Amino acid sequence: MNYIWKRLCWFLMVSIYVFAFYLQAAAEDSMVVGVVHREDFAYAAMMRTAYEIALKEINATKGINGRMLELSFADDQGEVEAGEEAVRKLVQKEKAVLLVGGYSSSNTLKMAYEANRLDTPFIVCTAADDQITQHKLKNIYRLNPPVSEYTRGLEEFLIDRVKPATMSIIYENSPFGTGSAMRMMWFCRENNIDIKAIQPYFKKGLTSEFIERILEPIQKDPPDILFMSSYLKDAILLVNKIGEMNIKSLLCGGAGGFTHDDFPRKTPKISEYLLTSTLWSPSSNSHQNKLFIKQFTKQYGKKPDYHAVEAYSALLVAANALRKCQALTAADIRSALESTNMDTPFGKVEFTDYGLYQRQNLSKTPVFQVINNSFETVWPIPLKTAEYQLPPH
């Protein structure tokens, strides 16, 4: 009996050792990038699909120097506490060596502080609050432009083609909405454009009745341009109400919800001729751009917008940096990210310091116009897919 018991104990010990060895080997054969994601926002499924396409491509080319890349997602819920917890989970539990993501400006700054505290590099790819790359956080890099630069292309277009004399501004009272509206106010001041009305609103509790109240002064004295900065749900409510109230201004959006494929579909005819800034145009002739659009459309069933391209490109940038690392320390990853100079479907990516920003990528912002219920690129000229059409009024 003692002999059998000893053999059994020996067998169990060897089994545990072998199992532990294979677990360690499996861990060493892969590495984790954490994705800070928000599951309930309009672009969640689109961005997750883009991450998955990028992951498949990366691992099809021997991953990260022979090690397979894994993604671990954590839902930040668009809230500060949930966002900070998502960062801690990805870094401490999932052992992510680097983070990508960040959608809501309202909580990404706090998540950036938490990632910096945990000494984990974080490539923000969507959140637009100017402050994210203004607080000298050494681990924070941003792919997309800050919100005060979202309308750069639209501003150029308005001066070159529209030449407005007056403007009214409606915006969501959030870091995204406020930043965009403030930039447009400065644009008006710099170009002697008279601002007739400025109307902020709070996202929570927004109703059709409230929208009508804030639009009444604009209805009575319509400007040449009505600029709006909103997410998808609010953008649809606003534009449909503008149609009901028969406001005849040229409508302009500050990206966000105005570039979603659902926007023209849910604002038929009313959004016709609307101009909106965007962060990416599908009309780029780069091979990378065309290939991504084809792959994404096949898998997702719809063409991508800039949110999907940001997610896809951010993971490519992360993989490029990780492949350059001798060791996966935060310092090595930061050094690799700071030497980034690569072409992606989103455009050239290079993290630089300029003005008040640190480790911020510089990118162009094209202009869409809704023509025949679809988005056409009307600016800049090299990306143009259609001529700008003046509204009949």
Q: What does the pLDDT average to over 35-59?
A: 96
CA distances from 90 to 20, 108, 163 (A): 23, 15, 49
- Specify whether 140 is located in the same domain as 161: no
pLDDT: is 24 or 325 the higher one?
A: 325
At residue 284 the predicted structure's pLDDT band, cuts being 50, 70 and 90, is: confident
Q: What does the pLDDT average to over 147-169?
A: 97
Digit-coded pLDDT (tens) for 338-358: 999 999 999 999 999 999 999
Residue 393 confidence (pLDDT): 72
Q: What does the pLDDT average to over 162-173?
A: 97
- Specify whether 186 is located in the same domain as 233: yes
One-letter identity of residue 247? I
At residue 294 the predicted structure's pLDDT band, cuts being 50, 70 and 90, is: very high
Residue 329 confidence (pLDDT): 97
- Specify whether 167 is located in the same domain as 196: yes
Q: What does the pLDDT average to over 176-196?
A: 97
Pure H helices in 89-170: 105-117, 152-157
pLDDT: is 317 or 4 the higher one?
A: 317
Residue 392 confidence (pLDDT): 87
- Specify whether 260 is located in the same domain as 306: no
CA distances from 350 to 36, 126, 132, 282 (A): 22, 16, 17, 21
First to last CA, the chain: 98
Residue 258, domain CATH: 3.40.50.2300
| Mean pLDDT rounded to a whole number for the chain | 93
Local structure of 19: helix, strand or coil: helix
Q: Is the pLDDT of residue 88 over 90?
A: yes
The count of domains in the chain is: 2
Give the domain extent around 256.
Answer: 149-278+366-383
Q: Is the pLDDT of residue 21 over 60?
A: no
Distance of CA 144 to the CA centre of its chain: 6
CA distances from 164 to 10, 95, 275 (A): 85, 53, 13
Q: What does the pLDDT average to over 16-28?
A: 42
Q: Which residues of 296-326 are buried (b: 16+ CB within 10 A; e: fewer)?
A: beeebeeebbbbbbbbbbbbbbbbbbbebbe
24-38, 50-64, 69-83, 198-212: range with lowest mean pLDDT: 24-38
pLDDT: is 287 or 23 the higher one?
A: 287
- Specify whether 205 is located in the same domain as 121: no
Instruction: Give a yes or no: residue 390 inside a domain.
Output: no
Q: How far apart are CA 178 and CA 148, in angstroms?
A: 9
Residue 4 confidence (pLDDT): 54
At residue 24 the predicted structure's pLDDT band, cuts being 50, 70 and 90, is: very low
